Structure 1
Amino acid sequence: MSSALFVALVLPLLAGVHYYVWRRTVRDTTTPGSVWRRVGTVLIVLLGLLLVAAPPGERALPAPLATAVGWPGFVWMAGILYLALALLVGEVLRVFLLRAERRRATATAAATASATVPAAPRTDSVAGTGSPEPVSATDSPEPVSAAELNPSRRLFVGRAVALASGAAATATVGYGAYTALGPPRIKHITVPLARLDPAADGFRIALISDIHLNVLVGRDRTRQLVDLLNGTEPDLVALVGDLVEDADVADQGRAAEPLADLRATHGAFFVTGNHEFYSGAAQWVRFVQGLGLRTLRNERVALPGFDLAGVEDESGTEQDDGPDYEAALGGRDRDRAVVLLAHQPAQVEEAARYGVDLQLSGHTHGGQLWPFNHLMGLSEPNVAGLSRHGDTLLYVTRGTGFWGPPVRLGAEPDITVVELTSPRA
């Protein structure tokens, strides 16, 4: 996103959301001039500034400072999202609480009037009779409006809604962080390929994507993932892009070093993702090759029973280094099955044109955060799992990392073991 677009569109939206959250959690819960109002205001402003500073700070700041800014800034990305959503739901609760408080205040006013005003006959006459109309001290007073409600009761309502919303948002973000930072789930799927040679029946590909090494996760995370991958005892490991998140080898190379310990019968393969190109794809390709992974840059290799191909990510097109499907898939033996590694699911359109049997992708994170996991289907052919596109199958892993907030909700991370089967076996 360009700086001008960010300033024109995103900053006003962020400012508006922050104002709404401040109004409901600070202004409506404190008295004017109180120390708590000042503290709350400063905290909201500070968190907003950290949120804006965290993404560029990953590359612009020294590592310790980037981490110090990144944790509160990125966590607040998810925090303000779910706090704002909880507060919006809380508007319904606010209506009922205010109504209950007004009824309570009206009843209190009626009881007070009944106790303090003696009954007396009215001197007016009932129209048409000439008879005096008695007046009772228990006549109901006018209902109390929201503006007339005692300030302490309005504070009570504001605090109740803010507390409930804050608790809901905190629990949501806490659970999402636990999911994102915990070990990914190991999934197993079986995919039949009509052209797969019987010799390759049962071939196991351990698929991983979107590790996103950054200022929040590093070498320990990579070591954990390598141990999990090796534990699946795969025939082949496929890392389909976004190993890093906008970082140079000098900053995150050490965090990626445990990949050198990957163990698979036919080795480990790597294709670029969009974040490699944001970071400088050439340096990461050289580094990954030095760790022992084979990079497939618009090329294919013959494996027992099928061909394995890999193409560059679409974002490389802007750097004249994009996918070349003809180089990777053209001129091959059409009687052999071919499995394509491509970072983005949308690349399946070209894969289908070239008669690919199975494409393995990542990129989507499964949507990462609710409700985006439901909205991504508007722009992606498949957000997660297995789908068919013509004669081509597409499998999309949710990946193991995260972009931005270290939170996953409705899209748990996964490593998938894809077992290929042949109907001729």
Structure 2
Amino acid sequence: MLKTSSRAARRRRSTRPIKFWGIFLCVYALVLIYPWVRIDTLMGAAWQPGPVTYVLLGAGPMLVRFTRERLPRRIGRELSLLCMNWLGLSFILFVFLVLFEPLNLIFSPSPWQAAWALLGATALSAAIGAMNAQMIGIKTIQLRFPKLCDNLRVVQISDVHIGSRRPGLLRRIVDKTNALQPDYVMITGDLIDLPHISVDELRPLSELAAPVDYVIGNHERYVDLDDIDARLRQLGLTVLRNEETATRQFQIIGIDDADDTTQVGTQLSQLDLDREAFKILLYHRPAGLEAVAEHGIDLMLTGHTHAGQIVPFNLVVKRVFTHVRGLATHGPTTLYVSPGTGTWGLVIRLGSRSEITCFELSGQS
């Protein structure tokens, strides 16, 4: 009986990668290939691209993803941006097609007119989303913590994604942040998402007019993490890697991003936490809130979700994370999930806003 159970468990483990990639490829084909096949069918174009063209169309972004580091840096970056925005357009068109197909069965509009209406709606949505993605709002949140001795202004920046976004975005972020006159600036990961982003491209960070604490996100792990760590330290940022640091007013804890759901609790149990001090935890993703509360953290700052970035993708994000944006509390801990200061991949936001968050923290006085 034990041998049979063991063999069944091994079979289940061995089939998991097959199931995962099967589902992934089906979703990938639906989003990236089906929309254009459907538009081509509706238009009834005299020239039919054929299966080879569609396979290349779908495989293009994946090929760029796996070969960009072998290409000249500028070419690799531009191709990556082009492919990600193509993926974004395909996703928007796919959403409109999901809405269109039931209506098509009921009303049977002209296929040619329907195709152009779908393309027009996609282009208009992408244009609105692209303009929205360029806007960076300032959100001010007032919180009171009796453990604080002084009033503080802390600014959170998250998910800038230099690589997907051009380095010039940093200049705008730094100028807006300095205008807030913060006491501290805290960056909660995914500052960078492509390899070989140079110190010169990141140099505006050195002009932030307050001490800067930074923790890594998942995208830094995917690229040249050790080099990113060194570049940011060179620019004067405090990079917290599963460690804590103390200021006169409070204790700051930074934990490396990880896919392991026990990461936060495990790392906090290994750190020297001051139970009496006001404590701020920086962690990239909104996970482990219960463990954070058990360790007496007062304020947890996270990002990662982008608030979905594009509707209806926010519905998918909500299936993964309990808290997708904004404030939440659990026991003594207040959690804030930033919707992100930049954008990942495509430079489009629909149903969400880019944000620099300003926390006005008041204490006993």
Query: Paired residue for 1:185, among 119, 123, 137?
Result: 137
Query: Paired residue for 2:121, among 156, 168, 176?
Result: 168
Aligned to 2:249: 305
Are positions 1:352 and 2:293 aligned together? yes
Instruction: Say if 1:349 and 1:281 are closer, same or farther in 2 by CA, change over 3 A.
Output: farther
Native 8 Å contact 1:50 1:72 kept in 2: no
Query: Paired residue for 1:212, among 148, 155, 161?
Result: 161
Q: Structure 2 matches for 1:243-322, cutoff 5 A?
A: 243-247=191-195, 250-264=196-210, 267-315=211-259
Distance 1:289 1:22 in 2: 46
Over residues 109-162 of structure 1, what are the superposed CA-to-partner deviations in whole Å (9 max), with x where a residue is unaligned?
xxxxxxxxxxxxxxxxxxxxxxxxxxxxxxxxxxxxxxxxxxxxxxx7111111
**Deviation for aligned residue 1:19:** 5.2
Aligned to 2:5: none
Over residues 197-248 of structure 1, what are the superposed CA-to-partner deviations in whole Å (9 max), with x where a residue is unaligned?
2xx12x001100111111x42321111211111111100010111111142x
SS at 1:159 equivalent: helix
Query: Paired residue for 1:396, among 304, 315, 337?
Result: 337
Over residues 45-90 of structure 1, what are the superposed CA-to-partner deviations in whole Å (9 max), with x where a residue is unaligned?
5542333234334434322322342233111212111212212222
Distance 1:316 1:291 in 2: 30
TM-score by length of 1: 0.74
Distance 2:194 2:220 in 1: 7
Aligned to 1:225: 173
For structure 1, which runs of at least 5 residues remain unmatched after alignment? 99-155
Instruction: Say if 1:56 and 1:19 are closer, same or farther in 2 by CA, change over 3 A.
Output: closer
Over residues 358-411 of structure 1, what are the superposed CA-to-partner deviations in whole Å (9 max), with x where a residue is unaligned?
111111111212112233222223111111012211011111222222222212
Instruction: Say if 1:344 and 1:165 are closer, same or farther in 2 by CA, change over 3 A.
Output: same
Query: Paired residue for 1:65, among 75, 88, 97?
Result: 75
Instruction: Say if 1:81 and 1:317 are closer, same or farther in 2 by CA, change over 3 A.
Output: closer
Distance 1:416 1:382 in 2: 17
Distance 1:314 1:239 in 2: 17
Aligned to 1:82: 92
Q: Structure 2 matches for 1:104-253, cutoff 5 A?
A: 157-180=110-133, 182-197=134-149, 200-201=150-151, 203-214=152-163, 216-247=164-195, 250-253=196-199
Q: Which has the higher contact order (CA 8 A, sep 6+)?
A: 2
SS at 1:206 equivalent: strand
SS at 2:193 equivalent: coil
The number of residues matched between the two structures is 350
Native 8 Å contact 2:265 2:292 kept in 1: no
- One-letter amino acid matched to 1:14: Y
Instruction: Say if 1:190 and 1:363 are closer, same or farther in 2 by CA, change over 3 A.
Output: same
- One-letter amino acid matched to 1:405: L
Are positions 1:375 and 2:324 aligned together? no
Instruction: Say if 1:287 and 1:4 are closer, same or farther in 2 by CA, change over 3 A.
Output: farther
Instruction: Say if 1:184 and 1:378 are closer, same or farther in 2 by CA, change over 3 A.
Output: same
Over residues 330-353 of structure 1, what are the superposed CA-to-partner deviations in whole Å (9 max), with x where a residue is unaligned?
3x1x23211111112103232111
**Deviation for aligned residue 1:96:** 4.2
Native 8 Å contact 1:55 1:404 kept in 2: no
Native 8 Å contact 2:157 2:188 kept in 1: yes
**Deviation for aligned residue 1:95:** 3.1
- One-letter amino acid matched to 2:153: R
Over residues 283-311 of structure 1, what are the superposed CA-to-partner deviations in whole Å (9 max), with x where a residue is unaligned?
22221111011122233233233222222
SS at 1:270 equivalent: strand
Instruction: Say if 1:398 and 1:421 are closer, same or farther in 2 by CA, change over 3 A.
Output: same
Aligned to 1:15: 29
For structure 2, which runs of at least 5 residues remain unmatched after alignment? 1-15
Instruction: Say if 1:396 and 1:19 are closer, same or farther in 2 by CA, change over 3 A.
Output: closer
**Deviation for aligned residue 1:313:** 1.8
Instruction: Determine which structure has more spread, i.e. the larger CA radius of gyration.
Output: 1
Instruction: Say if 1:386 and 1:161 are closer, same or farther in 2 by CA, change over 3 A.
Output: same
Native 8 Å contact 1:18 1:44 kept in 2: no
Native 8 Å contact 1:57 1:69 kept in 2: no
